[in-house]
Amino acid sequence: MSLKVFIDGKFLEKEKAKISVFDHGLLYGDGVFEGIRSYKSLVFKLKEHIDRLYESAHTIMLNIPMSKAQMIKAVINTLKKNKLKDAYIRLIVTRGVGDLGLDPRKCKLATVIIITDKIVLYPEELYKKGLKIITVATLRNVPEALNPQIKSLNYLNNIMAKIEAINSGSQEAIMMNSLGFVAECTGDNLFIIKNKQLYTPAQAMGILRGITRDCVIDIAKEAKIPAHECILNRHEIFNADECFLTGTAAEIIPVVSVDGRQIGNGKPGEITHLLMQGFKKITGKDGEKYKV
Ligand code: PXG
């Protein structure tokens, strides 16, 4: 059975799921998206992802032609149609079809796309050994120009940083903000542990406030591990006891080297493991339930 993709209320076979070349999502990256996961027929933190999608849309003055409740139903129906239990869900809303000019007023109706597919997991080995990553020259977008909190279809900033990582044979890139402080990775947030306390760049550093990041902070607080959203520089990363990244796709992944500096003892840390276990527990419990 071919995968079915939701486009503007219709389910189309993967091969026939196409949109206009005049869609401003393609012409200008004018649109917003979310990456969501389901675990055993439970859509993890669906409300939080939907809220963030509508906030991104609100800021770019994009009118999503569905209520949040309708959007939640559409996500669940798409998963059901494809009989997926453990899935990756890509929710996309573009400005819609317009002409070749920038003017968004020419786009009369936003395009809503929901793609659900099997989740491709990172190799287990990476979670056991930890990542070796680098900092890159490409700065994270300045929030006053394009706020990283808007999860827009324009991901070139992150892709440029990813290319730098790839060119250096590295698995991920840490991006700085325009002040030289640590912001985040290309598709993940960054955490360190020092003296049994958790630190992560504050939202004011110009990051996407990841939903996995929020979960990890909650898990830490519950485990009585003090968690700080703060300013971090490279020196503090290099001298951390532990380091890890968080994101919907990666979940929690340990980091053992940054710019050639070994982090802690060079192995994934104890508190990182504890948080990974805590995260595993909630993924099977939290979210919108659906039956396939
Ligand atoms: N920072 C950035 C810049 C992101 O794009 C995260 C942090 C983590 O946020 P969540 O809410 O997922 O904890 C993201 C989101 C992919 C992929 O396919 C992942 C993201 C974005 C686009 C694609 O790996 N991560």
What pLDDT, in 10s, does the model give residues 68-101?
999 999 999 999 999 999 999 999 999 999 999 9
Mean pLDDT of the chain: 96
**Mean pLDDT, residues 1-29 taken together:** 97
Residue 233 CA to its chain's centroid (Å): 22
* CA 248 – ligand 1 centroid, Å: 6
Tokens of 277: 């276990």
| Those residues with Cβ within 8 angstroms of residue 234's Cβ, 6 or more apart along the chain or in another chain | 135, 176, 182, 258, 259
Pair 67, 37 in one domain: yes
**Res. 176 pLDDT band, cuts 50 70 90:** very high
| Domain interval for residue 245 | 124-283
Residue 292 has pLDDT above 80, yes or no: no
Query: In this predicted structure, what is the pLDDT of residue 240?
Result: 98
Residue 131 has pLDDT above 80, yes or no: yes
Query: In this predicted structure, what is the pLDDT of residue 28?
Result: 98
**Res. 122 pLDDT band, cuts 50 70 90:** confident
Pair 110, 10 in one domain: yes
Pair 136, 275 in one domain: yes
d(CA 10, CA 159): 31
Of 97, 117, 137, which residue constitutes the final position of a domain? 117
Burial of 163 (0-12, 13-18, 19+ CB in 10 A): middle
Pair 150, 72 in one domain: no
Length of the chain as a residue count: 292
**Mean pLDDT, residues 190-201 taken together:** 98
Query: In this predicted structure, what is the pLDDT of residue 100?
Result: 97
Q: Is 291 within the bounds of a domain? A: no
CB 228 within 8 A of CB 217: no
Query: In this predicted structure, what is the pLDDT of residue 145?
Result: 97
Domain count, the chain: 2
d(CA 284, CA 275): 15
Determine the residue of 155, 208, 217, 218 to mutate for testing ligand 1's pocket, defined as the one with the most ligand atoms within 8 A of the Cβ atom. Answer: 208
Pair 144, 279 in one domain: yes
Query: In this predicted structure, what is the pLDDT of residue 5?
Result: 98
Query: In this predicted structure, what is the pLDDT of residue 110?
Result: 98
Residue 17 has pLDDT above 90, yes or no: yes
Pair 211, 98 in one domain: no
* CA 212 – ligand 1 centroid, Å: 9
Q: Is 14 a catalytic residue?
A: no
Residue 285 has pLDDT above 90, yes or no: no
**Mean pLDDT, residues 262-271 taken together:** 98
Residue 287 has pLDDT above 80, yes or no: no
**Ligand 1 pocket residues where CB is under 6 Å:** 35, 158, 184, 187-189, 208, 210-213, 246-249
* CA 187 – ligand 1 centroid, Å: 4
